[in-house]
C-alpha cells in the first residue's frame, strides 16, 4: 500500500512531529487527486465544499443538548479515520494523505456554538444567510486534520440550526448521509432514549485505497480507449457564453475558475453561482419508474438517455459526452458499505444516437453500455483524459443522481424533536451540474455558473429535458429522428416570428417595368452622377432603350445571358438597364479578375453577348421602350461566387425576388427624391444590385464612385461630402477603416449606413455611434443565393451596449421565412445554433448548369420530411415557399426573436465581405506540381483576418521535372512568392493566402479526418530553433520544467501546456517555483502565464513588489517546510 518513498516520508515527518500522533498514511484516490487540484487552483472558490443546514424544532421543555450532540460527533470522528485525515502535496511527486489520532483534532475550530435567541426572526434569517456564505467560502487548511466545521445555533421559539460544512475530499454524499444517521443515533443513545447498538468495525478508508492499488490499470486503459473509439472529440455546450481557454482545457475536467492572480490581491474575484429547479409531477415520476421497470432498465439509464439526446440536438452531433457520478463502492471489498469516505467518481458517459433506431432499441443499447463500464470505474478522470483526449477535458456538463444527506428516519420515532428542513448546498467547477433527486417526486436542479450561463438558457434547457423525457415515455417504438425537443409554446413563438406576409408589393412587375414607370414620374430629375457627368431619368432611359433595341436585333431575349465587362461608369448602368429591357439577365465580369477565371465564367454562363466600351459605341437605335416577353419569374442576373470544387458557380436570381427585396427596402427606409445613394460596390457582388436599382426605381439620385474608388477612403470621404451622399453601404471591416478618417463630422447629409457581408462587432457599432451619433446604422444579412438580403436589424446606440458580442442580423424581411434547422432538419430551440434555411419569394432559382448542386442546396419541400417544419411553425407548409435554400450559415434565436449570426459550418468564409470557398483555394494549390496536400484557414491575427495555407510538399522522387524539384526544395520564404504568383493567375487577389506554412503531414483525428484544430498557430509554425533561457529567473523555470516534464530542451517561447504539462505536473512545478524563489505563488499563475518568458517576467515583478513591500513593512516570511 505504501511505496518506499512514502515510508521514508512517514519516518521523517514522524520524527519532526511526534510519531505517535500518526495513525496511517497512503496515496489519494483518483477522485481525491482531482478535487485536491481544483481546490488548490481556487482555494476560496467554494466549489466542492458541501454545506448542509439542518433546522430542528423541539417541543416546549425539551431543549436539544448541544454538548451531547458534540460528543456524538466526537465519537464519529474517533470511529472514522477519514474524518481525521490531512492532505499533503508539497515537495513530493505524488500527493498523499495522513490519518492522525483523535488527540490531534482541534475541536475549538471544528465545533462552534452561537446563541441567537435574543435576535428577532428577521435578524436571525439575515445573520444565517451571511453565515452560510462566509462559512462555505472560508478555505480549509488541507494539511491539518478535521476538514469540516460544525456550527450549532440556538434560535428562538425552540428552533435550532446545525450547519455542517466539510470538504468533499473526505466525504461523498452517500457517506455524509450515513454519517448523519450514525451521529444522531448516537446522540439519542447518549440521551438515554435509545439502547446502544453494535456497529461494524475493522474497515477503514485505507482499505479502499489499497484495493484501488491492486486494480489492473492496463485493462482499464484498453476498455476506455475502446469505449471512445472513433470519437471525434469534445463539443462545448452551445449555450455557454464563453469558450474554454486553451490553458484551462489542459487541466483535469476543464477547470474554469477565476482566482486571484497574486497572494497580495486585496480583492479576490469570485464566480457567481445560481440554480433552478424543475420538478416532475408525482404522476410523471411514477410513469417514469414504471417505464424503466417495463423495459428492464434503470431510472439512471432513462435520464442519461434523455440528457444525451437533448445534448445531441443542442450540439447537432450524433455523438456526445457528458460527465456522470458513480457510487464507486466495489462490491468485492469487504465492509465497503460501512465505510465512510470519498468513493464517488466522475466519469464520462458517451451517448450515440442513430436516427433510424427506435427509442426502445436505443435505450437497451445504452443500458448494456452502462453496465459494461461498471468494472472500470476505479480509474481517475485525469488518466482517462490522457488516454483518449491528450489530457484535454471531455465534457462541461455533469449529471448527478443526488442522495439526500439526511431524512426524518434519523430520529427513530423521537416525538419531542423534529427535523423541520434540510438545505444541501454544493457547487462543482463545471459550468453546468444537473442534479436529480427525490423518491416519490423527481426534481431536476440545474446549478450553473453565472459567468458561463444565463437564467433563460437554463430555464429552457430544463423545459426541453422535461419534454424529451415525456416524449420518450409516450413513443418507445418511434425512431429517434421523430423525437422533438421543442415544447408547444416554443413552436408557436417561432411561428409568430416567421409571419412576414406583405400582399401590397407589385410582384407581378419586373425591374424595367418599375423603372419605366418612374421615368414617367420624374423624367427631368437627375438619375446618375459620375465625376462631372450627369444623366436625367429620361436620358438614362433613352440610352438604355437604344442599346436594348440593338441587342434585340442581335437576337437577345428572355432567359439569355449577357456579360457586362465594364468598370463603374454611366455606361455600365446603361448596359444593365438595356440588358434587362431585352428580357435577358446580366452576368457581371470584374475586369480585375484573372483571365483564366473570366474565360471560365464566360464559358460556363453560355453568354449570348459581352458588353464592353467598344460595343456600346454608336448604337444609334430607337429611344422608345422596347417590347419584351419578360415575366417576374424570369432571371434578372447571374452572379458568380467562389466554388468549393475549385470553380466558381453562377447564382440565378429572378425579377420577382428582386422586386420584393427592393419594395421592402423602400417601405423600410423611405428613400426620397432628394436623397443621394452612393454606388461603390463592385458589380460582381450583389450589394451593387440594391445600390443601383433601389434609388433608380424611386426617383432618387445615384452617385457612382470611380473605378477602384471604393479602396480609397480619402476619395470616398471627399465624394460623400461634395456629393452630399445620404445613404451608402460598408462591409464592417471597411467601415472600421472608414471611421479612421478625420473630419467625418462634415458629412452633414449622411443619414443611413447599411452594413452586410460579415459579422458586425459590437465594438465597431459603439465606435460608429461615437463618431456618427446622428446617422442610422443597419445590419443586413443575405447570401447570393437569395435576392440580396433576407434579414435586417436597425442598430440602436443603447443596443450596442448590451452583453452580446455581436450585433444581431435581426428578423426576416417581408415575404421571407428563416428556419433554423439541425443536420436532420429538426428545428432547433431558442438559443441553440442551427443552420439557416431560407424560404420565401427571394430564394434564388439555383446554380446555372449545376443541377446536382442546385438539388443539394435548394431543397424541394416535397423531397424532405416536412413534419418538423410544421411543428416549428404550427402551420401547414402550404403557406411557405416550396423551396428552402440551405445556406451553410449558422445562427440562433435570441429570446426576443432576433437572429444572431454565428459563422459557417463548412469550408466557406467571408473576408472583408467577399465570400470565399476555402476548397477552391486548396484545389488551386494542389494543381501546383510541388504541392501534395493543402489546407487553407481564415486566421485571426489581432484585429485583422487573413488567409493562411498549410501545405505538404510533394516528395522529390514523385516530381518529374528538375525545375519543379528545385522549386519544392526552396525555403518557405521563396516558395511563398512562387505560390502567390501561381495562384494570382487563377484566383482573385483577395483569395491569395497571406502566409504559407509547410508541414511534414496534415494532422488527423483518430478516425482519419483532417483535424483543423491541431494545425499549428501561425506564430508557432516554422519557428526558428529554441531560444535558450537568458536570465537567472528564466533558467530556473526552464530547469524546473525540464525536470518535471522530463524534457532536455526548453525554450523561452514554450507554452507549458503545449509541451506536455497538465494539472498534476502544474502542481509540482508550482511547488518547486515557490521553494526556489521563496514566494507564495498561486497555482493559477501558471495558467495565466503558460509561456516561460511571460511567467519569468511575472515572477520577477512579483519579487520586486515584495521587496518594496518588505522595505516599508516587514520581511516576507517566504516559503516554509510542511509542519505536521
- Nearest by Cα to 1037 from 1119, 1093, 1121: 1093
Count of structural domains within the chain:
5
Boundary (domain end) residue, out of 855, 871, 906: 906
Q: Are residues 871 and 937 in the same domain?
A: no
Q: Are residues 308 and 445 in the same domain?
A: yes
Count Cβ atoms below 10 Å from residue 41 Cβ, excluding itself.
25
Where on the phi/psi map is residue 45: left (φ > 0), alpha (ψ -120 to 50), or beta? alpha
What was the pLDDT predicted at 794?
93
Q: What is the per-residue pLDDT across 166-193, written as a single tens digit (0 to 9) for each? A: 999 999 988 998 899 899 989 989 988 8
Q: What is the per-residue pLDDT across 1049-1063, written as a single tens digit (0 to 9) for each? A: 888 988 887 676 766
The 3-state DSSP class for residue 24 equals: strand
How far lies 848's CA from each of 601, 640, 652, in Å?
A: 11, 9, 7
Highest mean pLDDT, choosing among 402-406, 424-428, 791-795: 791-795
Residue 159 β-bridge partners: 57
- Nearest by Cα to 650 from 843, 850, 885: 850
Residue 115 β-bridge partners: 154
Highest mean pLDDT, choosing among 323-332, 731-740, 1019-1028: 323-332
Question: Dihedral, CA atoms, 137, 143, 145, 147, nearest 10 degrees?
Answer: 20
Residue 656 belongs to a domain: no
CATH (domain of 280):
3.30.559.30
Residue 842 has pLDDT above 90, yes or no: yes
Q: What is the per-residue pLDDT across 435-490, written as a single tens digit (0 to 9) for each? A: 998 888 899 999 998 888 989 999 999 999 999 999 999 999 999 988 889 988 89
CATH (domain of 857):
2.30.38.10
400-409, 591-600, 889-898: range with lowest mean pLDDT? 400-409
Residue 764 belongs to a domain: no
The set of cell numbers assigned to 683 is: 458589380
Residue 686 belongs to a domain: no
What was the pLDDT predicted at 1098?
92
Residue 640 belongs to a domain: no
Q: What is the C-alpha separation between 822 and 828, in angstroms, rounded? A: 6
Q: Are residues 867 and 969 in the same domain?
A: no
CATH (domain of 120):
3.30.559.10
More confident position, 533 or 1015 = 533
The set of cell numbers assigned to 27 is: 496515496
Given a contact cutoff of 8 angstroms between Cβ atoms, the answer to whether 999 and 1023 are in contact is: no
Count Cβ atoms below 10 Å from residue 708 Cβ, excluding itself.
13
Q: Are residues 1068 and 1107 in the same domain?
A: yes
Residue 1105 belongs to a domain: yes
Strand order in the sheet with 85-88: 22-27, 96-100, 85-88
Boundary (domain end) residue, out of 1014, 1047, 1074: 1014
What was the pLDDT predicted at 1006?
52
pLDDT bucket at 426, cuts 50 / 70 / 90: confident
The 3-state DSSP class for residue 502 equals: coil
Q: 649-654 and 635-641: which strand pairing?
A: antiparallel
Strand order in the sheet with 635-641: 609-611, 561-564, 585-588, 635-641, 649-654, 846-847
Residue 846 β-bridge partners: 652
Q: What is the per-residue pLDDT across 599-643, written as a single tens digit (0 to 9) for each? A: 999 999 999 999 988 766 556 788 999 999 999 999 999 999 886
Q: Are residues 854 and 918 in the same domain?
A: no
Given a contact cutoff of 8 angstroms between Cβ atoms, the answer to whether 906 and 919 are in contact is: no
- Report DSSP state, residue 1050: -
Q: Are residues 925 and 832 in the same domain?
A: no
Whole-number average pLDDT of the chain: 84
CATH (domain of 1056):
1.10.1200.10
Q: What is the C-alpha separation between 635 and 844, in angstroms, rounded? A: 9
Residue 1122 belongs to a domain: no
DSSP letters, 341-374, are S---EEEEEEEE--TTSBHHHHHHHHHHHHHHHG
How does 305-321 read in b/e, with b if 16+ C-beta sit within 10 Å?
bbbbbbbbbbbbeebbb
Sequence-distant (≥ 6) Cβ neighbours of residue 835 within 8 angstroms: 820, 821, 822, 823, 886, 887, 888, 889, 890, 905
Taking residues 1014-1031, report their average pLDDT.
71
Boundary (domain end) residue, out of 906, 932, 949: 906
Helices vs strands, H then E, count in the chain: 34, 39
The residue whose grid cell reads 471531455 is 394
| Residue % of the chain over a pLDDT of 90 | 47
Angle, alpha carbons 958-962-963 (nearest 5°): 115
Q: Are residues 834 and 960 in the same domain?
A: no
Given a contact cutoff of 8 angstroms between Cβ atoms, the answer to whether 716 and 730 are in contact is: no
Q: What is the per-residue pLDDT across 903-955, written as a single tens digit (0 to 9) for each? A: 877 766 777 666 677 877 887 787 787 887 888 888 775 455 778 889 888 76
pLDDT bucket at 708, cuts 50 / 70 / 90: confident
Given a contact cutoff of 8 angstroms between Cβ atoms, the answer to whether 694 and 681 are in contact is: no
Q: What is the C-alpha separation between 93 and 90, in angstroms, rounded? A: 8
Q: Are residues 1105 and 1003 in the same domain?
A: no
Residue 520 belongs to a domain: no
Sequence-distant (≥ 6) Cβ neighbours of residue 603 within 8 angstroms: none
pLDDT bucket at 275, cuts 50 / 70 / 90: very high
Count Cβ atoms below 10 Å from residue 328 Cβ, excluding itself.
22
Q: What is the C-alpha separation between 949 and 792, in angstroms, rounded? A: 34
How far lies 577's CA from each of 468, 574, 921, in Å?
A: 56, 5, 34
- Residue 1090's domain comprises 1032-1112
Q: 995-998 and 944-953: which strand pairing?
A: parallel
pLDDT bucket at 803, cuts 50 / 70 / 90: low
pTM reported for the whole predicted model: 0.80
DSSP letters, 908-953, are EEEETTEEEEHHHHHHHHHTSTTEEEEEEEEEEETTEEEEEEEEEE
Q: Are residues 973 and 928 in the same domain?
A: yes
Q: 752-755 and 727-730: which strand pairing?
A: parallel
Residue 681 belongs to a domain: no
Given a contact cutoff of 8 angstroms between Cβ atoms, the answer to whether 416 and 223 are in contact is: no
Q: Are residues 50 and 172 in the same domain?
A: yes
What was the pLDDT predicted at 226?
95
Q: What is the C-alpha separation between 598 and 208, in angstroms, rounded? A: 75
How does 934-973 read in b/e, with b if 16+ C-beta sit within 10 Å?
bbbbbbeeeeebebbbbbbbbeeeebeeeeebebbeeeee
What was the pLDDT predicted at 488?
85
Residue 885 β-bridge partners: 838, 858
- Nearest by Cα to 70 from 185, 133, 150: 150
Q: Are residues 249 and 129 in the same domain?
A: no
- Nearest by Cα to 710 from 677, 736, 738, 746: 738
Question: Dihedral, CA atoms, 342, 344, 346, 350, nearest 10 degrees?
Answer: 170
When computed from its CA atoms, the radius of gyration of the chain, rounded to whole angstroms, is: 36
Taking residues 275-284, report their average pLDDT.
92
CATH (domain of 936):
3.30.300.30
Q: Are residues 145 and 22 in the same domain?
A: yes
Amino acid at each position: 500500500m505504501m511505496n518506499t518513498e512514502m515510508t521514508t516520508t512517514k519516518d521523517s515527518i514522524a520524527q519532526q512531529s511526534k510519531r505517535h500522533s500518526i495513525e496511517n498514511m497512503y496515496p489519494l484516490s483518483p477522485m481525491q487527486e482531482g478535487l485536491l487540484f481544483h481546490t488548490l487552483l481556487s482555494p476560496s472558490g467554494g466549489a466542492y465544499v458541501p454545506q448542509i443546514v439542518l433546522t430542528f424544532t423541539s417541543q416546549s421543555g425539551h431543549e436539544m443538548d448541544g454538548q451531547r450532540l458534540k460528543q456524538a460527533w466526537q465519537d464519529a470522528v474517533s470511529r472514522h479515520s477519514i474524518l481525521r485525515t490531512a492532505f499533503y502535496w508539497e515537495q513530493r511527486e505524488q500527493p498523499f494523505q495522513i490519518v492522525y489520532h483523535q488527540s490531534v483534532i482541534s475541536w475549538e475550530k471544528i465545533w462552534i456554538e452561537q446563541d441567537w435567541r435574543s435576535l428577532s426572526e428577521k435578524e436571525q434569517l439575515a445573520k444565517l444567510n451571511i453565515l452560510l456564505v462566509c462559512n462555505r467560502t472560508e478555505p480549509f487548511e488541507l494539511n491539518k486534520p478535521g476538514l469540516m466545521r460544525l456550527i450549532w445555533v440556538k434560535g428562538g421559539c425552540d428552533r435550532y440550526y446545525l450547519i455542517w460544512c466539510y470538504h468533499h475530499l473526505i466525504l461523498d454524499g452517500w457517506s455524509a448521509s450515513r454519517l448523519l444517521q450514525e451521529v444522531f443515533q448516537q446522540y439519542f443513545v447518549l440521551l438515554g432514549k435509545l439502547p446502544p447498538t453494535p456497529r461494524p468495525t475493522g474497515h477503514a478508508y485505507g482499505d479502499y485505497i489499497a484495493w484501488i492499488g491492486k486494480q489492473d490499470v492496463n485493462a482499464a486503459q484498453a476498455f476506455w480507449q475502446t469505449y471512445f473509439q472513433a470519437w471525434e472529440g469534445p463539443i462545448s455546450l452551445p449555450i455557454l457564453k464563453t469558450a474554454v481557454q486553451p490553458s484551462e482545457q489542459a487541466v483535469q475536467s476543464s477547470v474554469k475558475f477565476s482566482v486571484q492572480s497574486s497572494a497580495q490581491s486585496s480583492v479576490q474575484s469570485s464566480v457567481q453561482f445560481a440554480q433552478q429547479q424543475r420538478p416532475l409531477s408525482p404522476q410523471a415520476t411514477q410513469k417514469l419508474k414504471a417505464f424503466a421497470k417495463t423495459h428492464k432498465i434503470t431510472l439512471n439509464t432513462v435520464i442519461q438517455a434523455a440528457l444525451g439526446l437533448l445534448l445531441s440536438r443542442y450540439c447537432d452531433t450524433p455523438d456526445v459526452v457528458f460527465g456522470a457520478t458513480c457510487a464507486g463502492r466495489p462490491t468485492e471489498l469487504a465492509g465497503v458499505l460501512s465505510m465512510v469516505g470519498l468513493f464517488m467518481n466522475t466519469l464520462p458517459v458517451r451517448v450515440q444516437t442513430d436516427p433510424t433506431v427506435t427509442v426502445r432499441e436505443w435505450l437497451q443499447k445504452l443500458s448494456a453500455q452502462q453496465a459494461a463500464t461498471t468494472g472500470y470505474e476505479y480509474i481517475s478522470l485525469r488518466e482517462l483524459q490522457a488516454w483518449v483526449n491528450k489530457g484535454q477535458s471531455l465534457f462541461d456538463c455533469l449529471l448527478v443522481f443526488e442522495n439526500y444527506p439526511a431524512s426524518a428516519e434519523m430520529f427513530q420515532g423521537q416525538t419531542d424533536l423534529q427535523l423541520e428542513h434540510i438545505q444541501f448546498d454544493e457547487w462543482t467547477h463545471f459550468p453546468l451540474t444537473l442534479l436529480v433527486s427525490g423518491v416519490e417526486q423527481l426534481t431536476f436542479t440545474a446549478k450553473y455558473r453565472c459567468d458561463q450561463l444565463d437564467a433563460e438558457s437554463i430555464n429552457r434547457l430544463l423545459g426541453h429535458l422535461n419534454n424529451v423525457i415525456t416524449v420518450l415515455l409516450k413513443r418507445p417504438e418511434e425512431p429517434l429522428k421523430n423525437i422533438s425537443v421543442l415544447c408547444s409554446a416554443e413552436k408557436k413563438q417561432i411561428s409568430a416570428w416567421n409571419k412576414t406576409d406583405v400582399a401590397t408589393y407589385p410582384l407581378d412587375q419586373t425591374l424595367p417595368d418599375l423603372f419605366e414607370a418612374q421615368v414617367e414620374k420624374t423624367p427631368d430629375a437627375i438619375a446618375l452622377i459620375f465625376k462631372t457627368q450627369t444623366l436625367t431619368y429620361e436620358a438614362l432611359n433613352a440610352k438604355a432603350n437604344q442599346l436594348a433595341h440593338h441587342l434585340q436585333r442581335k437576337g437577345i431575349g428572355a432567359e439569355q445571358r449577357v456579360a457586362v465587362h465594364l468598370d463603374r461608369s454611366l455606361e455600365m448602368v446603361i448596359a444593365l438597364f438595356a440588358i434587362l429591357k431585352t428580357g435577358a439577365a446580366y452576368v457581371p465580369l470584374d475586369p480585375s479578375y484573372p483571365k483564366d477565371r473570366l474565360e471560365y465564367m464566360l464559358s460556363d454562363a453560355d453568354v449570348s453577348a459581352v458588353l464592353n466600351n467598344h460595343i456600346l459605341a454608336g448604337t444609334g437605335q430607337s429611344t422608345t421602350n422596347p417590347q419584351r416577353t419578360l415575366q417576374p419569374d424570369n432571371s434578372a442576373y447571374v452572379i458568380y461566387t467562389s466554388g468549393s470544387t475549385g470553380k466558381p458557380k453562377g447564382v440565378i436570381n429572378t425579377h420577382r425576388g428582386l422586386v420584393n427585396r427592393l419594395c421592402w427596402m423602400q417601405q423600410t427606409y423611405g428613400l426620397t427624391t432628394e436623397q443621394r445613394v452612393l454606388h461603390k460596390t463592385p458589380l460582381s457582388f450583389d450589394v451593387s444590385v440594391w445600390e443601383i436599382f433601389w434609388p433608380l426605381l424611386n426617383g432618387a439620385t445615384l452617385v457612382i464612385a470611380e473605378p477602384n474608388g471604393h479602396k480609397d477612403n480619402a476619395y470616398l470621404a471627399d465624394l460623400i461630402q461634395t456629393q452630399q451622399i445620404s445613404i451608402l453601404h460598408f462591409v464592417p471591416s471597411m467601415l472600421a477603416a472608414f471611421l479612421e478618417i478625420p473630419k467625418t463630422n462634415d458629412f452633414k447629409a449622411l443619414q443611413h449606413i447599411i452594413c452586410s457581408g460579415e459579422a458586425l462587432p459590437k465594438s465597431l457599432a459603439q465606435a460608429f455611434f461615437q463618431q456618427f451619433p446622428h446617422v442610422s446604422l443597419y445590419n443586413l444579412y443575405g447570401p447570393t443565393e437569395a435576392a440580396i438580403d433576407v434579414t435586417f436589424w436597425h442598430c440602436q446606440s443603447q443596443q450596442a451596449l448590451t452583453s452580446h458580442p455581436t450585433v444581431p442580423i435581426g428578423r426576416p424581411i417581408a415575404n421571407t421565412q428563416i428556419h433554423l434547422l439541425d443536420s436532420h432538419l429538426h428545428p432547433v430551440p431558442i438559443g441553440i445554433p442551427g443552420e439557416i434555411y431560407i424560404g420565401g419569394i427571394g430564394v434564388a432559382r439555383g446554380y446555372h448548369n449545376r443541377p446536382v448542386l442546385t438539388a443539394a442546396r435548394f431543397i424541394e419541400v416535397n423531397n424532405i420530411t416536412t413534419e418538423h417544419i410544421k411543428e416549428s411553425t404550427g402551420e401547414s407548409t402550404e403557406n411557405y415557399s416550396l423551396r428552402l435554400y440551405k445556406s451553410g450559415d449558422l445562427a440562433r434565436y435570441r429570446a426576443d426573436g432576433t437572429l444572431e449570426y454565428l459563422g459557417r459550418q463548412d469550408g466557406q468564409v467571408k473576408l472583408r465581405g467577399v465570400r470565399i470557398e476555402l476548397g477552391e483555394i486548396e484545389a488551386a494549390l494542389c494543381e501546383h506540381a510541388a504541392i501534395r496536400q493543402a489546407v487553407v484557414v481564415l486566421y485571426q491575427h489581432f484585429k485583422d483576418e487573413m488567409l493562411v495555407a498549410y501545405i505538404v510538399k510533394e516528395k522529390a522522387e514523385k516530381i518529374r521535372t528538375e525545375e519543379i524539384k528545385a522549386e519544392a526544395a526552396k525555403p518557405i520564404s521563396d516558395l511563398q512568392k512562387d505560390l502567390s504568383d501561381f495562384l494570382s493567375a487563377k484566383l482573385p487577389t483577395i483569395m491569395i493566402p497571406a502566409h504559407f506554412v509547410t508541414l511534414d503531414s496534415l494532422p488527423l483525428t483518430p478516425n482519419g479526418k483532417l483535424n483543423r484544430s491541431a494545425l499549428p498557430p501561425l506564430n508557432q509554425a516554422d519557428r526558428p530553433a529554441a531560444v535558450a533561457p537568458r536570465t537567472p529567473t528564466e533558467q530556473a523555470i526552464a530547469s524546473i520544467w525540464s525536470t518535471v516534464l522530463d524534457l532536455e530542451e526548453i525554450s523561452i517561447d514554450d507554452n507549458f501546456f503545449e509541451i506536455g504539462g497538465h494539472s498534476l505536473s502544474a502542481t509540482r512545478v508550482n511547488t518547486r517555483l515557490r521553494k526556489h524563489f521563496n514566494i507564495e505563488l498561486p497555482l493559477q499563475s501558471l495558467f495565466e502565464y503558460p509561456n516561460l518568458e511571460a511567467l519569468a517576467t511575472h515572477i520577477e515583478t512579483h519579487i520586486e513588489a515584495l521587496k518594496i513591500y518588505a522595505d516599508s513593512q516587514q520581511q516576507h516570511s517566504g516559503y516554509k517546510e510542511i509542519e505536521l
